[in-house]
Amino acid sequence: MRRSLQSYRKVSVESEISVASPHRIIQMMFEGALQRLAQSRYAIEQNDVTNKGIYIGKAIGIITGLNNSLNMEAGGDIASNLSDLYDFMLRRISEANMNNDVQAIDDVSEILRTIKEGWDAIPSDQHHMASQPEAV
């Protein structure tokens, strides 16, 4: 049953990605990173080393993807500042992993939520402004 549910979720996400705008894909990445951070936090609290590693690894992968999607030329100072924030978040996640530090996970989640709120506030008529996200 669990494997079937996982397969369904994967197909559902893949279907949504195939028709999603670049703006929506970034929103999904933010959502995914926040979910993985919450799962990491729970795993730390439960002393579940295996799942802690899995979920922290996935959060790192998503945040690295967000950082790599920045257009440093077109994004200017905003892209540079976001890149610095993503680097900071990756360091804090690594600290959380090494020290079982839920506060570090909470710090990263708070920063990520703030960036996501800004991204979500972009009016829909401006989502098509570029074929790739300028400064995520």
pLDDT per residue, tens digit, the chain (136 aa), is: 666 656 555 555 566 656 688 899 999 999 999 999 999 999 999 999 999 999 999 999 999 999 999 999 998 999 999 999 999 999 999 999 999 999 999 999 999 999 999 999 988 877 765 444 445 5
Three-state DSSP class for residue 134: coil
Residue 3 burial by Cβ neighbours in a 10 Å radius (0-12, 13-18, 19+): exposed
The span from the CA of 37 to the CA of 32, in Å, is 9
pLDDT for the residue 13: 53
Tokens of 60: 């790192």
- Overall pTM surpassing 0.85 (yes/no): no
Query: What is the reported pLDDT for 133?
Result: 46
Query: How far does Cα 104 stand from its chain's mean position?
Result: 15
pLDDT at 49: 97
Q: Which pair of tokens denotes residue 96? A: 């959380």
Candidates 58, 28, 26, 27; CA nearest to 40 is: 58
The confidence score (pLDDT) of residue 131 equals 46
The pLDDT score that the predictor gives to residue 5 is 55
123-131's contacts with Cβ under 8 Å and 24+ in sequence apart are 127/21, 127/22, 127/23, 127/24, 128/21, 130/22, 130/71, 130/74, 131/22
Which residue shows structure tokens 């690894």? 57
Q: Phi and psi for 21 in degrees, rounded to 5?
A: -75, 160
**How many helices (H) and strands (E) would you count in the chain?**
5, 0
pLDDT for position 15: 60
For residue 123, what pLDDT is reported?
A: 87
So what's the pLDDT on residue 6? 60
